[in-house]
Amino acid sequence: MILETFSDGGRLGEGTWMVFHPREGWNGRKRSPWDRPMSRRRMIRLSASAVITAQLLAACGDSSSGSSSSSAVKIGTPEDPIEQPLFDDNPAIESDLQPEDGPLKIFNWADYLWPRVINDFSEEFGVEVELTTFYNMEEATRKLRTGDLNFDVFFPTAEVLPKFVAGKLLQPLNHDYLPNLSGNVWEELQDPYFDVGSRYTVPYTVYQTGIGWRTDIVDADIESMDNPWDVFWDPSYKGQVGLYDDFRETVGVGLYRSDINNINTGRQADLDKARDALMELADLVNVRYTIDGAYAGMPESKFGLHHAWSGDVVGAQYYFPKGEDASVLRWMWPPKSEASTAGGYVSNDSLAITRDGENPVLAHMFINYLLDSKVALKNFGWLGYQPPLESIDPAQLVSEGYVPENLSSAIIAKEDFGLGQVPVQLPPNVERMWLDTWSQVQSG
């Protein structure tokens, strides 16, 4: 039984799901903004709470907190990758155990997994699956910390992992149950900088942050600009411009505009430049900060130019009004452009198993299931965010219709991970500076 599901799941016959998108299947009804599909990227950034550093622990010297020692919190960076610590009182499960009877409890971002995939797992393994969703990592963290909800599978991000490990909310993975990890996942992501050796996480999807636009509204040659981000400051697109309502991502755009490619900067001078740049936008182009502008706003002509996650533009094709052509949509990722020296995010989202879960074996099986090529591809057709699997050939994604030709730039290649920037958790005082900057930008 699935607690939260979409009734159309069963309507789509095998073989049709590739061309017949489930969202289209809802009688072409467009989704409302509060459904916020694909919105979870925004939520991640909003809640990109900084992980605590040793300095803060030393500074507050709070022994009453009952938390583990500062040495437990390990933040890796691409320059300095890190193995997450293991704890004696939080071991991985033994190998060769029998799966539990369930029900398997999944705790996921809203609209971040095709309910049909859950249904299939449920039928194939004969267990009940319960899905609970959240919109915001803050909320998810608070719920997990209560310790009585017993979720099994959770979807952390690279930025929250260190504190989740240090706070012992996750259990280490036993790779014996995950043959698809070593067999199918991109090798680079089997050893990510934030969790070397995939001790606690395996990758679920990859994403990049770039620029999306409609060719019928924007005629600038964005791909050959020295700094493609400058296009947001072009007054000829006044009223057409949107950026994400997200303090990490969007202050980042202010930094790129100022030719600063360090998106984890702790320098006030950098942030001031970003703030000044972004504050110009309010009157220069009537900028609006949205969650849904990229995947829903552009198809509906509310925006001609929007800050966009790769998965959002791939999903946008399903939001065009009937009879309108999605081929006007374009997307580019500045770090990949030959002409540009500007930056852009590239990162991945993860799967993990919570410590309180009562079905750890089943949870491992579910994670392994999601790393299966067929399942992952099916899920991608609904989700728009790409699974980093060896067996999935980028060319195939276009030829089989998962990604339209005009958006082939939104397909992520392994090599891209060396080109772009990764967001790393900020120390609390730095996060505060970022929030302040964002608050000033938003005050207009």
Partner 1 sequence: MAGSAEVYSRRRWTWPAFAAPGLIWLILLFLVPFYAILAVAMGRQDPIFNQSVPIWNPVQWDPGIFGEVMSDIFSGQLGVIFVRTIAYVVIASLISLLIGYPVAYFVARHAGKRKVLYLVLILTPFWVPYLMRMLAWVNLLGTDGYVNDALMLVGLLDAPLEWLSGRSDTVVLGLIYGYVPFLILPLFAALDRIDESTIRAARDLGASPWQAFLRVTLPLSKQGTLAGLVIIMLPMFGDYYTNGLLSKSPNTRMVGNEIVLFIESGGGGSRGVALTVVLMAFVAVLMAYYLISVARATKESKA
Interacting residue ranges for partner 1, rule: CB under 8 A: 32-34, 46-52, 56-57, 60, 62, 65, 67-68, 70, 72-73, 136-138, 141-142, 145, 163, 166-167, 239, 242, 245, 247, 279, 282-283, 286-290, 301-302, 428, 431-432, 435, 438-444
Closest to partner 1 by CB, 47 vs 209, is 47
Residue 305 to residue 417: CA distance in whole angstroms: 25
Closest to partner 1 by CB, 288 vs 378, is 288
Residue 365, C-beta contacts closer than 8 angstroms, at least 6 positions apart: 99, 125, 177
At its nearest, how many Å lie between partner 1 and the CB of residue 82?
16
With tokens 């709470």, the residue in question is 49
Closest to partner 1 by CB, 399 vs 439, is 439
* Nearest in space to 297 (alpha carbons), one of 250, 346, 244, 334: 244
At its nearest, how many Å lie between partner 1 and the CB of residue 225?
25
At its nearest, how many Å lie between partner 1 and the CB of residue 197?
22
DSSP 208-225: EEEEEEETTT--S-GGG-
At its nearest, how many Å lie between partner 1 and the CB of residue 293?
8
Helix (H, G, I), strand (E, B) or coil at 153: strand
φ/ψ (deg, to 5) at 332: -140, 150
At its nearest, how many Å lie between partner 1 and the CB of residue 338?
34
Burial of 183 per CB tally in 10 Å (0-12, 13-18, 19+): middle
Closest to partner 1 by CB, 284 vs 326, is 284
Closest to partner 1 by CB, 63 vs 98, is 63
Closest to partner 1 by CB, 29 vs 374, is 29
Helix (H, G, I), strand (E, B) or coil at 204: strand
With tokens 């540009």, the residue in question is 340
Residue 85 to residue 199: CA distance in whole angstroms: 9
At its nearest, how many Å lie between partner 1 and the CB of residue 267?
18
